[in-house]
Structure 1
């Protein structure tokens, strides 16, 4: 099966990322063929001498040159980490103070019409513009409110965020030196396809297999697909699909509505391995209910940082058009810590703890995108809001 066919989604992937523009793909393939022709040997012995000379002459190249980007540095696998932010702990005094300072935030407040505040939690604020740089502070307090089936984002800063794949806004592709614009566009589109299927495809979020996300990854990258397939087949602490995929157990949890709120940014630059390096940093907010028929709504907030590279097949033994996965970090707010069954486990206000490790770290705001993910305190922390 060709790369193009294998990239089709098996779930309800939003149409905005279901396929690449034909002209982008055709331009990429022309560029790839041109580069390969330029570097093609006249005879095998000449090719062998060329590789030997390159290896001798490029002292800065990693040991894995011609066999894959610096796999020796990562023990053959992409770097990955996961942090858990477990329970909700919002001090009552904070809510009281907010209302004291802004009485118009009281639901149904008669002053709302004078202050411009609406009592409808879904129309109280306008949508935020796309994020183009790291914020300098956490989002301000949202209007008080609790999530319901009718208003699953009430009381959340995510109310102003974009819906689903519309929140993953790609920057305008430009050439990077000798790397053509078409290859940059392909790297961006493939990374978006990975993010959408891994975090927004309803079938994947319900515990299904992320076929489209897996299809954009290079099967020649040592260990990566093996690790991900192992995590999906037999989850454990060291092989956890939540490292890269957002998943709930459909027997226990169901979505509260069809909308997942998304905020973040994606950037690109020339990579270390003669290709296009893409950096993505996004937060996804999932409103959910229990599958037992309860109408109580809770929210789980997942932040992901993913680094990919579309390496140059003229310089590395890679699959044209497929991404190398260099790093993937994840943190989950309002999900039990210490549970490694491959699913997020949100806590509901009316429920006692459903298991997992007790939070031991300081309070964390899962909506705070102003600091790097690896700067968050280690361990299992209480979240200040959901």
Structure 2
């Protein structure tokens, strides 16, 4: 590229003045119709006058200014707003940093509170992996999904009352409350858990339901496989086992439906987690007995069914238990095992998986293997 060398005296200023002047020309040229900084005619006149030494000839721009001018002329014109920015990239940057922050917090929780995340995701579904940790006297639910569950009766959710069958909404609300009270008396009452006869719970059952009345008479006197109080009540032998603390973790719900002859049926599906230790006051080893019960109570229309006021008939009751005693238990008490236990001959089972139905298996003495405790 040819260069024109012009003495400074001919230009009437220093090199700094050259760039400054060229900048002013660019500003004036921005208003021309074709968008260029300097027209071809002006540029030719500039060269001619410069060679001839015309005193008022415009100053020649520096090589850097010419290069910038040529680059600007070659680029397409775009309207760029003042302080323009691209928010999409910034948003991705911020979202990524939020993700990193959440992941870091999760890793810290896992590191310092092992097993605590299990209750967030695995309490009602199949196990994602791992068997959890062992409880202690100070933390009896450590390593268990139940650590995130509610305490006691607060873990039983009750639907909104509405008119069903022969009952008004107010009567249905009372039936829901009394069904929940029965579950508490049968599975959470301190005397019941210590092995006493659950008289308060029994008083809620229709005494004119002959098969159930017969079961309740025999279960506490001469328990057997068909008349086992553990089918309906949670009990521990106080001479062998006691609760590790005063808290039982609970998760479950009641559901409403209309039954035959306009009866109001309240179906319950509730899991109870009992932390237990040996009755020896010096024992500090903690295990957990997990009991899931499905009970259906029928609040019958007294005009159509013989029933005592304020009582319900038992339509069905099923139970799944983990570490409550393997084999046919004829003692009438849960018999949890402590220490290392041999595996059972049945399938692997996750006692915290509440998505599967309660089965009728186990009555023949077969035992499965719990994947979590």
Question: Quick check: TM above 0.5?
Answer: yes
Moved more, 137-146 or 244-253: 137-146
d(CA) in 2 for partners of 1:183, 1:222: 25
Give 3-state SS (helix, strand or coil) of 1:264's partner: strand
Deviation for aligned residue 1:191:
1.1
**SS of the counterpart of 2:261?**
coil
- Paired residues in the alignment total 266
Separation in structure 2 between the aligned mates of residue 300 and residue 143 of structure 1, nearest angstrom: 15
- Call closer, same or farther: CA 1:227–1:183 in 2, change over 3 Å: same
CA distance, structure 1, for counterparts of residue 314 and residue 255 of structure 2: 15
1:216 Cα shift? 0.8
| Structure 1 match to 2:318 | 329
**Residue pair 1:255, 1:287 contacting (<8 A) in 2 also:** yes
Cα distance in 1 between the residues matched to 2:165 and 2:218: 39
Aligned equivalents of 1:161, 1:114: Cα separation in 2: 19
Equivalent residue runs for 1:322-361 within 5 Å: 322-336=311-325, 337-350=327-340, 359-361=344-346
Out of 356, 359, 363, the residue aligned to residue 371 of structure 1 is 356
Deviation string 1:47-77 (CA, Å, 9 cap, x unpaired) is xxxxxxxxxxxxxxxxxxxxxxxxxxxxxxx
Give the equivalent residue in structure 2 for 1:263: 251
Match of 2:283 in 1: 294
Cα distance in 2, alignment partners of residues 376 and 370 from structure 1: 17
1:367: how far off?
Answer: 1.1
Task: Tell me by how many angstroms 1:148 deviates.
Answer: 0.2
Contact 2:118 2:144 in 1 (8 A): no
The 3 A distance-change label for structure 1 pair 175 and 364 is same
Partner of 2:140: 152
Query: How far did residue 273 of structure 1 move?
Result: 3.3
Asked whether the equivalents of residues 122 and 159 of structure 1 are also in contact (C-alpha less than 8 Å), the reply is no
- Specify the structure having the higher radius of gyration (Cα): 2
Name which of structure 1's ranges 370-379 and 327-336 shifts more when overlaid on structure 2. 370-379
Residue 155 (structure 2) pairs with residue 161 (structure 1): no
| Matched residue SS, 1:146 | coil
- 1:161 and 1:142 map into 2 onto residues whose CA distance is 19
1:181 matched residue in structure 2 = 169
Alpha carbons of structure 1 residues 177 and 346: separation in structure 2 relative to 1, 3 Å:
closer
Partner of 1:342, secondary structure, is coil
Q: Deviations over 1:333-352 (max 9, x none)?
A: 012222211011111125x6
Any idea what SS the aligned residue of 2:314 has?
A: strand
1:177–1:146 CA distance, 2 compared to 1 (3 A): closer
Q: Which runs of 5+ in 2 are unaligned?
A: 1-102
TM (norm. structure 2) is 0.65
Is 1:115 aligned to 2:107, yes or no? yes
Inter-partner Cα distance in structure 1 for 2:112 and 2:153: 25
TM-score (norm: length of structure 1): 0.63
Where relative contact order (Cα < 8 A, 6+ residues apart) is larger, the structure is: 1
- Within 2, Cα distance between the matches of 1:299 and 1:112? 32
Asked whether 1:281 is paired with 2:269, we answer yes
Shift of 1:361: 1.1
Q: What is the distance in 1 between the residues matched to 2:239 and 2:265?
A: 38
1:147 and 1:187 map into 2 onto residues whose CA distance is: 37
1:87-236 maps to which residues of 2 (within 5 A)? Answer: 115-117=107-109, 121=113, 124=116, 135=124, 137-141=125-129, 144-176=132-164, 178-236=166-224
Asked if 1 retains the 8 angstrom alpha-carbon contact of 2:116 and 2:147, the reply is no
In the aligned structure 2, how far is the partner of 1:178 from the partner of 1:334?
42
Separation in 1, partners of 2:114, 2:246: 15
* Cα deviation, residue 225, structure 1: 2.3
Q: Distance in 2 between matches of 1:146 and 1:255?
A: 15
State the Cα distance separating 1:115 from its structure 2 match. Answer: 3.0
SS of 1:138 mapped into structure 2: coil
Partner residue of 1:380? 367
Whole-Å separation in 1 of the counterparts to 2:223 and 2:360: 26
Aligned to 2:89: none
Distance 1:151 1:112 in 2: 25
SS at match of 1:242: helix
Aligned to 2:307: 318
Select the structure that is richer in helix.
2
Partner in structure 2 of residue 103 of structure 1 = none
User: How large is the Cα RMSD of the aligned pairs?
Assistant: 2.7
Query: Take 2:147 and 2:127, find their aligned partners in 1: how far apart are those partners?
Result: 11
Tell me how far apart the structure 2 counterparts of residues 183 and 265 of structure 1 sit (CA, whole Å).
Answer: 19
